[in-house]
Chains A and B, each alone.
Chain A
Amino acid sequence: MARRVSVQTRIGFTVLAWAVALLLFSPILWTLLTAFKTEAEAIATPPTFFPQNFTLENFEAVQDRSDYIKHAWNSIVVSVGSTLLGLIIAIPAAWSMAFAPSKRTKDILMWMLSTKMMPAVGVLIPIYLIFRDLRLLDTVHGLTLIMTLINLPIIVWMLYTYFKEIPVDILEAARMDGAELWNEIVHVLVPMAVPGIASTLLLNVILAWNEAFWTITLTSGRAGTLTAFISSFSSPQGLFLAKLSAASLLAIAPILLLGWFSQKQLVRGLTFGAVK
């Protein structure tokens, strides 16, 4: 039975929800508006809300100073590449954990997740040295590799959760129908898990896109992604707020659009299995 809610309560909650939403959105709104201001206006006191002299010069300056297209391309390659590579490794791993578990499967899953709890800086030096010796510093494939590895636990966990929902009978039927393991995974498991795989893919593209720590420490000019691109605008000569805002806006725009168009899929993916 639905709970009875008075009109006043409903108005109260609506106002509160809008207030919280606007509060959370305000930094992005501020960035959006500042990107179209001049540098002088961006630091003016008292601050202006809307740009008084609407300008696109920040975007031109950003593209002139550091190549946006190149960084964006690196971001796409690293985030999509690391996610696809991760899926190729994680699908068989999650299959074995979901359908052929051993006594230690739960422990392995917990151990994998625990690596995400460790601060990344804890392994910075060994990884930096390995990267240096293998000549992977400032390379797109090196960055793709590290991004695959840091997101792999999440990919495996998510896929494991989706695969657990698939009735094992159907996979056994495929085995009886003469399907070898490869065919069982490609023709039966993956098509049935498409919604789960899609949301895993989306979430990991977003995670890899936003990753900053490894990107900034392991790359410089050549393989830098958009997160390295933004950080390059907080220069020692002082903050150029308008240019920084323009750079930030350019960096988040693609992933914001992707998130916007796939939000239904993402929400379904993240709450999958929560209720039967």
Chain B
Amino acid sequence: MGSITLEHVNKSFGEVQVIPDISLDIKDGEFVVFVGPSGCGKSTLLRLIAGLEDTTSGIIKLDGQDVTDAAPAKRGLAMVFQSYALYPHMSVRDNIAFPLKMAKLPPEVIAQKVDYAARTLNLASYLDRRPRALSGGQRQRVAIGRAIVREPKAFLFDEPLSNLDAALRVNMRLEITELHQQLKTTMIYVTHDQVEAMTMADRIVVLNAGNVEQFGSPLDLYKKPANRFVAGFIGSPKMNFVDGPEAAKHNAHSIGVRPEHFKLSTTEGAWKGTVGVAEQLGSDTFLHVQTDGLGLMTIRTDGDQTFKHGDVVYLTPDATRIYKFDAAGKAI
């Protein structure tokens, strides 16, 4: 079991309030991603759940039990750090075995569990090496191995892939998702990368300045963003926003159109513009179009389009997919 409940959790460092008031309900077995720009409080929130920081007020419950004042060691959670945080003076085997030794399991059980974890994570041939003799990806696997052997109630991941190169990041992303399918244990994953959030999560918590902007499934967030912040944060490239008279035509303070929701034409359309940069990705082309009076817009189109700098284009937003926001930025 591993349900996690936060009730009116507040955290201040001295005068600075990092998390004003957060309540969340994470179900057992769920993969929840905390996503937001840097400094939004997502790592702090994870550390509060882990017990590495004390809450200023509010209650944290694990499986319905109040653990607000429990030491990290007593919560039964496992954490994977961005820096891997392996014990440099121990071999890979001892690193993975450490939590089991702390739990005072008999040596034969420890050996069995370490072997199993090593086989699962393809670490069997590195067991006697020290962490410094491993590559970044292998180190991250050891960190994950150390987390899984103790069969925690939930896994906490603090930006675990940030130090890896792009190709490895995609691989590890798949491995962690696969691991979640196998173990079906609650996972909380902190990232600033919305692609990681969208691809891995059952549900996403979008955080901004310590507040939960929206908590929902990736497609919910994409299709029905609660506000302008979520609309702008989820989706790549970013949503285009238009204010002023053009928005007023739709009875809104501002409107948003995703780059993929435009019809593009060289002859006619709602908004006229000039192509600035055309980014050819092969599968897609991103056009950065300077529109007349509406600012710079990003358009996603298929990879066969061959627009170039200076071409005049007409953009027509898909009327059914225009997002409307009021003056406070809330979705209408």
Name the segment of B71-79, B164-172, B200-208 touching the other chain.
Answer: B71-79
> Which of A169, A174, A180, A194 is in CB contact (< 8 Å) with B98?
A174
Q: Are A176 and B102 closer than 8 Å at their CB atoms?
A: no
Q: For chain B residues 230-285, which have a beta carbon within 8 Å of chain A?
A: none
**In the complex with contacts A174-B98, A178-B102, A188-B87 CB distance below 8 A:** yes
Residues in B with CB closer than 8 Å to A169 are: 81, 83, 85
How many pairs of residues, A versus B, come closer than 8 Å at their CB atoms?
Answer: 60
Within 8 A of A (CB), among B120-177: 146, 150, 156
B77, B102, B150, most chain A CB atoms within 10 A = B102
Query: Given that A176-B72, A176-B77, A178-B99 are known contacts, is A192 also in contact with B85, CB under 8 Å in the complex?
Result: no
In the complex, the answer to whether A172 meets B52 with C-beta atoms within 8 Å is yes
CB contacts (< 8 Å) of A175 on chain B: these are 51-52, 71-73
Interface residues on A, range: 10 to 19
Q: Is the contact region of chain A dominated by helix, strand, or loop, or is it mixed?
A: helix
- Decide yes or no: A173 and B85 within 8 Å by CB, A178-B150, A183-B102 being known contacts: yes
- B-contacting residues, A157-174, CB 8 Å: 167, 169-170, 172-174
Flag if A167 contacts B83 (CB, 8 Å).
yes
In Å, the complex CA distance between A188 and B78 comes to 17
Residue of B nearest to A172 (CB): B52
Task: Report if A191 contacts B (CB, 8 A).
Answer: yes
Q: Pick the most buried of A169, A172, A178, A194: most chain B CB atoms within 10 A of its CB.
A: A178
Given A167-B85, A172-B72, A179-B73; 9 other pairs, CB 8 A cutoff = A169-B81, A170-B87, A173-B81, A175-B52, A175-B72, A175-B73, A176-B50, A177-B102, A194-B89
Residues of A within 8 A of B (CB): 167, 169-170, 172-180, 183, 187-188, 191-192, 194
The list of the 4 closest CB pairs from A to B, nearest first, reads A177-B99, A173-B85, A178-B102, A169-B85
Which residues of B does A touch, CB under 8 Å?
50-52, 71-73, 77-79, 81, 83, 85-89, 98-99, 102-103, 146, 150, 156
